[in-house]
Structure 1
Amino acid sequence: MSGSINIAILILSLVLTFALGLYLSRRQKNVKDYFLAGRNMPFWAVGFSIIATQISGISYLGIPAFVFQKDLTIFLRSLTILCATIVIAFTLAPLFYRMNITSIYEYLERRFSIHVRVVSSLILVITKLTWLSMVIYASGLLLSTQFEIPLTSCIIFSGLFTTLYTAWGGMKADIWTDVIQFFLMSMGLIVAIAIILYHFNGDVGEIWRIASAGGHTVMVRDMANFNTEYSIWAILIGSFILNLFDYGGNQITVQRYLTTSSVKGTIKSLLLSAVFTLPFIIVISLLGLGLFAYYNQHPQMMQSLLSFSPDNPTKAMDRVFAHFIVNVIPVGLSGLVVSGIVAAGMSSADSGFNSLSAICFTDYYKRFFKKGKMGEHVELNIAKKLSLFWGLICTVMALFINKIGLLMEVANKIYSYFVGPIIALFFMGLFIKMIDATAAIVGMLLGLSMSFVLIKWTNVHFLWHAPFCFGVTIFSAVLFSLLNKIILNRFSFAKSSCS
């Protein structure tokens, strides 16, 4: 009976989401409507959509699990979000909006060359495929733990459901469902925090004392060297670069704020998302402390949690929030929390599928394969099929992600390895006029090579990868441009002397 109530709550939220997607899909006339919602969305809806997209199921499950196993060093990452968002809001965001583009990589072709555009967008596609498959896996993991259904079945259901309503609904459906899902996520988080406080009779100090005794309230670690795990400088500098990419070089986020009706709307949506994301991440982090304190006082619960994977405690602890929901939160309320976490995963996945479709349609299909003029209806159908294709690919990939370890850490590693050179390209294009297409390609290749070197031959902590590769990309491109200019000048001088 109890399981039936939770299932009913989840099904109701899913049905409402799907119905909204179908309803809004009727108003689509062309790919501009499908990818950019006609560029008439209110800034506040876009702002909440960005938050829902950024706070994925990985964050919702992964941040509490990280704090539960380690400490609050991840909290410092949230402080860089506001700084990075302000930088993007007054540099790249207005530029993208005024260019009236769908894929942000169109800018790289106009500024540099088609080769820079294709390579950079391809890197994003590869990175996002991995990230989206992890998002689907996180939703499946929760459903499996909550309803005692095989993980494989839950992953397939989560992936296919999100794929179908995204393919039909387009960007407008994505944004409005994200708004609903944001409030579902918020309510779920409030319920979980309230339950923990109830068990401790509202004594926040006791929760903090228990977590502190276990070493889980540490926020700052001194930096002995670049190998130090989550040192303060690695977090502040590395996370700043990662957040620059998230808000300025990530098609998933940028495509959302391009749906507003003006440049001012774009800037306001970004700032609103940053202001609300900060407290959201703080609360999720504090939830991790509460979970540690609760499990510390209930050793039988810890034993039950570890029984999910006796040989791999890290894998088992990825389930800690889901395990808490199943075993502690009352029926009905637990259904609400589950709906919130599933909503977090869906909001990120639907954004990703639509954005991958936009990249492939704009950067590849229209650029290389489209022959002659096509009707708007034909183009719209192609865009929907691309969303369907990417959703299916990510769902299949998610079936193979059950041995990756701590979810949040793996997601951050994937970003750190690849995004430094990409965001560097955008800032070079905007601020360093001397860099041409050849210099940009040289810089990008050397930046990616630096990432490979760091992974293969060093123990440098992964948070340093993005800033190192960001710096190498810019330095190499500038150096190449200067050397090229010197060589050309000498060649011209020698040629004129001979004449």
Structure 2
Amino acid sequence: MQLTWIDWAVVALYFLFNIGIGLYYKARAGKNISEFFLSGRNVPWWLAGTSMVATTFAADTPLVVTGFVAKNGIAGNWVWWNLVASGMMTVFFYARLWRRSGVMTDIEFSEIRYAGKPAAFLRGFRALYLGIPINCIVLGWVNLAMVKILMLILGVEKWQALVIVVGMIALTSFISTLAGLWGVLVTDVFQFVIKMGMVIALAVFAIAAVGGMGAMKTKLLAIDAARQG
């Protein structure tokens, strides 16, 4: 794919807007620790919710969901649909308890719920387990997806795509460090609007490219029959 100067201008504006959000919330995040890590405990529900959805909607999402559906049909989505139950429990049951406890992090709740050395061990274990292996796995698959996308779109080598991804990670870290949670929340919403708009537009163009919904169903049935035969 050959990108024109207009494409690069849009990319530049996107990054500049994200940096602008970081600069805008810099002063607010610098007031105290609560503002930096918790947005002063004053985040609207819709902002927090949209940020959570945007966080799970990364570069890997369209690729992995497409793979699930292609391999197992619509039912393949239950790999991640099953998380709805725990998500609803968190929102309607645990969230108010966490807020009332005044904790700053999820793992901090362990030493309030339990006591003594076992509680301290549990807190330390969860901090290390969630902070290192789990985070590394999540970051690994998200960034690998971005590397593959960049290799396809820009036609670059893998190491070049890795350099670009590292640069984007550095920029994201800079904005997060600058603006705290407020900056993260607002940039998440901005990115979510763009991503949702683009995937909807892509779906429309993709269906049109194969001749419409009817033609797509016919082709999918033929593929499924050939696979089973």
In 2, Cα distance between equivalents of 1:68 and 1:151: 27
- Equivalent runs, 1:414-429 vs 2, <5 Å: none
C-alpha distance 215-73 of structure 1, shift in aligned 2 (>3 A): farther
* Residue from 215, 219, 225 that aligns with 1:210: 219
Letter matched to residue 47 of structure 2 = A
What is the aligned partner in structure 1 of residue 94 from structure 2?
92
Answer with 1 or 2: which has the greater Rg. Answer: 1
Whether the 8 Å CA contact 1:200–1:206 is kept in 2: the answer is yes
Structure 1 residue 171, shift from structure 2 partner = 0.4
What is the aligned partner in structure 1 of residue 139 from structure 2?
132
What is the aligned partner in structure 2 of residue 193 from structure 1?
203
Which 5+ residue runs of structure 1 have no aligned equivalent? 217-499
In 1, Cα distance between equivalents of 2:99 and 2:47: 17
Higher relative contact order (CA 8 A, sep 6+): 2
C-alpha distance 60-170 of structure 1, shift in aligned 2 (>3 A): farther
C-alpha distance 77-191 of structure 1, shift in aligned 2 (>3 A): same
What is the aligned partner in structure 2 of residue 184 from structure 1?
194
Letter matched to residue 15 of structure 1 = L
In 2, Cα distance between equivalents of 1:7 and 1:68: 33
What is the aligned partner in structure 2 of residue 17 from structure 1?
18
C-alpha distance 165-96 of structure 1, shift in aligned 2 (>3 A): same
Structure 1 residue 64, shift from structure 2 partner = 1.9
Letter matched to residue 181 of structure 1 = Q
What is the aligned partner in structure 2 of residue 266 from structure 1?
none
Structure 1 residue 69, shift from structure 2 partner = 5.2
Whether the 8 Å CA contact 1:53–1:178 is kept in 2: the answer is yes
The list of structure 1 runs, each at least 4 consecutive aligned residues, that deviate by more than 6 angstroms after superposition, is none
Indicate the structure with greater helix content. 2
Structure 1 residue 31, shift from structure 2 partner = 1.4
In 1, Cα distance between equivalents of 2:80 and 2:46: 21
Letter matched to residue 84 of structure 2 = L
In 1, Cα distance between equivalents of 2:121 and 2:164: 40
C-alpha distance 151-2 of structure 1, shift in aligned 2 (>3 A): closer
What is the aligned partner in structure 2 of residue 225 from structure 1?
none
Letter matched to residue 42 of structure 1 = P
In 1, Cα distance between equivalents of 2:92 and 2:21: 33
In 1, Cα distance between equivalents of 2:6 and 2:70: 29
Structure 1 residue 154, shift from structure 2 partner = 2.1
Letter matched to residue 217 of structure 2 = W
- Equivalent runs, 1:276-315 vs 2, <5 Å: none
* Residue from 142, 151, 174 that aligns with 1:164: 174
What is the aligned partner in structure 1 of residue 150 from structure 2?
143
C-alpha distance 204-170 of structure 1, shift in aligned 2 (>3 A): same
In 1, Cα distance between equivalents of 2:186 and 2:210: 37
1:448-491 CA-to-partner distances (Å, cap 9, x unmatched) read: xxxxxxxxxxxxxxxxxxxxxxxxxxxxxxxxxxxxxxxxxxxx
Which 5+ residue runs of structure 2 have no aligned equivalent? none
Letter matched to residue 165 of structure 1 = I
Whether the 8 Å CA contact 2:68–2:77 is kept in 1: the answer is no
Structure 1 residue 70, shift from structure 2 partner = 5.2
What is the aligned partner in structure 2 of residue 122 from structure 1?
128
Partner secondary structure for residue 90 of structure 1:
helix
Partner secondary structure for residue 102 of structure 1:
coil
What is the aligned partner in structure 1 of residue 41 from structure 2?
39
What is the aligned partner in structure 1 of residue 66 from structure 2?
64
Letter matched to residue 19 of structure 1 = G
CA-based RMSD of the aligned residues comes to 2.2
TM-score, normalised to structure 2, is 0.84
Structure 1 residue 68, shift from structure 2 partner = 4.0
Structure 1 residue 2, shift from structure 2 partner = 4.0
TM-score, normalised to structure 1, is 0.41
Structure 1 residue 10, shift from structure 2 partner = 1.4
Structure 1 residue 213, shift from structure 2 partner = 2.9
What is the aligned partner in structure 1 of residue 56 from structure 2?
54
Structure 1 residue 79, shift from structure 2 partner = 4.0
Whether the 8 Å CA contact 1:3–1:147 is kept in 2: the answer is no
Letter matched to residue 139 of structure 1 = M
C-alpha distance 77-41 of structure 1, shift in aligned 2 (>3 A): same
Whether the 8 Å CA contact 2:22–2:178 is kept in 1: the answer is yes
Whether the 8 Å CA contact 1:140–1:158 is kept in 2: the answer is no
Whether the 8 Å CA contact 1:139–1:158 is kept in 2: the answer is no
Structure 1 residue 108, shift from structure 2 partner = 0.9
What is the aligned partner in structure 2 of residue 367 from structure 1?
none
1:402-437 CA-to-partner distances (Å, cap 9, x unmatched) read: xxxxxxxxxxxxxxxxxxxxxxxxxxxxxxxxxxxx
C-alpha distance 208-49 of structure 1, shift in aligned 2 (>3 A): same
In 1, Cα distance between equivalents of 2:176 and 2:27: 13
Whether the 8 Å CA contact 1:35–1:171 is kept in 2: the answer is yes
In 1, Cα distance between equivalents of 2:208 and 2:155: 26
What is the aligned partner in structure 1 of residue 75 from structure 2?
73
C-alpha distance 134-78 of structure 1, shift in aligned 2 (>3 A): closer
In 2, Cα distance between equivalents of 1:60 and 1:128: 20
In 1, Cα distance between equivalents of 2:63 and 2:171: 20
Structure 1 residue 117, shift from structure 2 partner = 0.8
Whether the 8 Å CA contact 1:136–1:159 is kept in 2: the answer is no
In 2, Cα distance between equivalents of 1:58 and 1:196: 19
